[in-house]
């Protein structure tokens, strides 16, 4: 059985028909991780006991002929910003290096309730702050398509694990592009749900008004299957929306003919790699060939999205990360003689460079005398960005763009140039700021064999249309192997 080709339906069918046991499958994936992850660095922790215990539960159901849950025996990985009861959860940071969560993140609990087998915790940029997965306090992640390149960030471990066949599906988080950009760089499918569609309870906060949890997998149908399980209202998260959750798997089979697709001119301007443009434009023509109407549109406030994002996100990060003070939990500096020294040294010794940079930026824009000039103005711009999408969706059903301006760049290439790194999110931050859903799907590869991603954005809570379009394109293109 080729683990790289397994889908969720394939796993469930194989277990149901007793072609393989869930335990044997879990062991096979754990063995693959042990053999291959040293060169990739996708996993920070392997949860062997937890995985095998859940696999045994699934096998017991299959042995008795009982109905299997929707994700029965499916090997999954969890980004290490989601709490997992009894397992270390670090957020890729030294400050939480020994933190063991007392409860499960709602999304993780719902996955396991649906029968998924959690193999372990996945590497990420520290506190999800980064676009390359080089900011992890433990080790960088390497792109399985080219080990000299980054997998994207911050959910680099989540994308790399799927691309390398070390998990059938994974959970990531997206604050400014952290699911979609790694999906694009690694040649997998990654979905950003509408803000409020998936509970954030148990997600370690970076920027609370921007953080989303979403799935990554090799196929659109697998992403739909995972989203169907984790979506929906959660009383533990006041920001989760009480909006009906459709059957996404049923929705993806519906025709796309007649759908109007907006192509914003701002996403095809200076800075877009020529080969990326070519592959994305070809993908748009494929959708046109399926009967979609292509409509030129404008999202005029797009140029302000990156500065707007890096004011709002850093301001919220400054507030959220104030809780890591060396007192209640997490890393505490040794031999400090005063409370003030303990606070200062604990944060200085345990936070990485990028996290410190963003805390300082956020503290600055919230400070007296600068709040109105920066933070308040950014919130007004955010409203304008959201209005751009509202006005566009009066005319079109979805918006199609590149996911990222380039393919995966080389490890170390942008480490010393934060602004260049931030601009890697230029096409993804807008959806987070507006709260709309987006999906990245592979749409070909460059002459160097590097994956290119097509991004589709939609109306609030209309993930169904995105999944329909993505699935139709996937079927028409035959999918992509790398």
Residues with a catalytic annotation lie at: 79, 154, 178
User: Encoding tokens for residue 474?
Assistant: 């996937």
CA 139, CA 130: separation in Å to the nearest integer?
14
Closest by CA position to 446, among listed 394, 392, 408, 390:
408
Q: Which residues pair with residue 79 across a beta bridge?
A: 122
Q: Which residues 6+ apart lie within 8 Å of 336 measured at CB?
A: 342, 345, 346
Q: E strands within 378-472?
A: 398-402, 438-445, 451-458
Apex 291 CA angle, 280 and 455, nearest 5: 30
Largest CA distance in the chain: 71
Rg (CA), the chain: 21
Alpha helical stretches, state H, 165-273? 180-186, 220-230, 248-251
Q: What is the dihedral of CA 173, 175, 178, 184, to 10 degrees?
A: 110
Q: Which residues 6+ apart lie within 8 Å of 366 measured at CB?
A: 315, 318, 319, 375
Which phi and psi (to 5°) does residue 415 adopt?
A: -60, -40
> 């006991």: which residue's tokens?
49
User: Encoding tokens for residue 104?
Assistant: 């499960």
């Amino acid at each position: 059985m080729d683990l790289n080709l397994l889908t969720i339906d394939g796993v469930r069918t194989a277990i149901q028909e007793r072609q393989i046991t869930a335990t044997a499958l879990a062991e096979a994936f754990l063995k693959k991780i042990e053999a291959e992850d040293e060169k990739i660095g996708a996993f920070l922790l392997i949860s062997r006991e937890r995985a095998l215990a859940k696999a045994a539960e699934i096998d017991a159901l299959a042995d008795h002929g009982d109905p299997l849950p929707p994700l029965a025996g499916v090997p999954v990985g969890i980004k290490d910003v989601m709490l997992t009861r009894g397992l270390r959860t670090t957020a890729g940071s030294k400050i939480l290096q020994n933190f063991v969560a007392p409860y499960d993140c709602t999304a993780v609990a719902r996955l396991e309730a649906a029968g998924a087998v959690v193999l372990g915790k996945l590497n990420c940029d520290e506190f999800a702050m980064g676009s390359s997965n080089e900011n992890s306090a433990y080790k960088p992640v390497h792109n399985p398509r080219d080990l000299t390149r980054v997998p994207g960030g911050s959910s680099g471990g989540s994308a790399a694990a799927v691309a390398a066949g070390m998990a059938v599906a994974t959970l990531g988080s997206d604050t400014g592009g952290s699911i979609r950009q790694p999906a694009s760089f690694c040649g997998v499918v990654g979905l950003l749900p509408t803000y409020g569609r998936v509970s954030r309870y148990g997600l370690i906060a970076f920027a609370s008004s921007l953080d989303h949890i979403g799935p990554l997998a090799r196929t659109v149908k697998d992403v739909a299957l995972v989203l169907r399980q984790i979506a929906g209202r959660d009383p533990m998260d006041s920001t989760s929306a009480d909006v009906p959750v459709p059957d996404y798997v049923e929705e993806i089979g519906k025709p796309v003919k007649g759908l109007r697709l907006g192509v914003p001119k701002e996403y095809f301007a200076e800075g877009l790699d020529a080969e990326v443009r070519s592959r994305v434009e070809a993908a748009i023509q494929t959708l046109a060939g399926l009967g979609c109407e292509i409509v030129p549109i404008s999202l005029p406030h797009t140029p302000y999205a990156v500065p707007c994002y890096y004011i709002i996100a850093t301001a919220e990060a400054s507030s959220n990360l104030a809780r890591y003070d060396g007192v209640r939990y997490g890393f505490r500096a040794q031999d400090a003689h005063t409370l003030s020294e303990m606070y200062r040294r604990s944060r200085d010794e345990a936070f990485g460079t990028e996290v410190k940079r963003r805390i300082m930026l956020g503290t600055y824009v919230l400070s007296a005398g600068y709040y109105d000039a920066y933070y308040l103005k950014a919130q007004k711009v955010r409203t304008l960005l959201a209005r751009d999408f509202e006005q566009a969706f009066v005319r079109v059903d979805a918006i199609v763009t590149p996911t990222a301006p380039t393919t995966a760049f080389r490890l170390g290439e942008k480490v010393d140039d934060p602004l260049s790194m931030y601009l890697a999110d230029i096409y993804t931050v807008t959806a987070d700021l507006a709260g709309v859903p987006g999906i990245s799907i592979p749409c070909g590869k460059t002459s160097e064999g590097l994956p290119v991603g097509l991004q589709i954005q939609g109306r609030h809570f209309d993930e169904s249309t995105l999944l329909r379009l993505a699935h139709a394109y996937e079927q028409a293109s035959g999918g992509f192997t790398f």
